[in-house]
Amino acid sequence: MATMLTGVLGRVALLPRPIRFGGVGGGCAVLQLGFLAGLVQGGVDRHLANVVAFLVATQIHFYLSALVTWRDRDAEGGARHSTARPK
C-alpha cells in the first residue's frame, strides 16, 4: 500500500501546482458535500451537519494540501530542491 501511494504521489507531483491545487480543493469540496448529504440523510440537523462536514473536509484538505500541493516545500516555506543555475 505504501509503495502504491508513493508511486501515485510521484506521478501527481509532476503535474503543475495550479492543477494540484485545484484538484485537492475541488476534491475536498465534493467530499464536504458528500459528508453533508450523508449526515442530513442520516437524520442530523442540517446546521450541525454542515459544521461537521466543514470541519472534516477542512482537516482532510489541510493534510492533502501539505502532501500533494506543497510537498516540494520544506517547513520554512522554501523549496526543497534548489532550482538555481550555476553561473
Domains held by the chain: number = 1
Nearest-angstrom CA–CA distance, 53 and 42? 13
Structural domain boundaries enclosing 42: 17-69
Domain presence at residue 28: yes
| Most confident listed range (7-11, 45-49, 63-67, 76-80) | 45-49
Domain presence at residue 1: no
Which 3-state string (H, E, C) describes 29-85?
A: HHHHHHHHHHHHHCCCCHHHHHHHHHHHHHHHHHHHHHHHHCCCECCCCCECCCCCC
Residue 87: band (very low, low, confident or very high) from pLDDT cuts 50, 70, 90: very low
Residue 28: HSE in the Cβ half-sphere, 13 Å Cα cutoff: 20
pLDDT tens for 22-75 read 999 999 999 999 999 999 999 999 999 999 999 999 999 999 888 888 766 655
Domain presence at residue 87: no
Residue 84: band (very low, low, confident or very high) from pLDDT cuts 50, 70, 90: very low
Name which residue leads in pLDDT, 85 or 22. 22
Domain presence at residue 34: yes
Query: Which three three-digit cell numbers place residue 80?
Result: 526543497
pTM for this predicted structure: 0.69
Domain presence at residue 24: yes
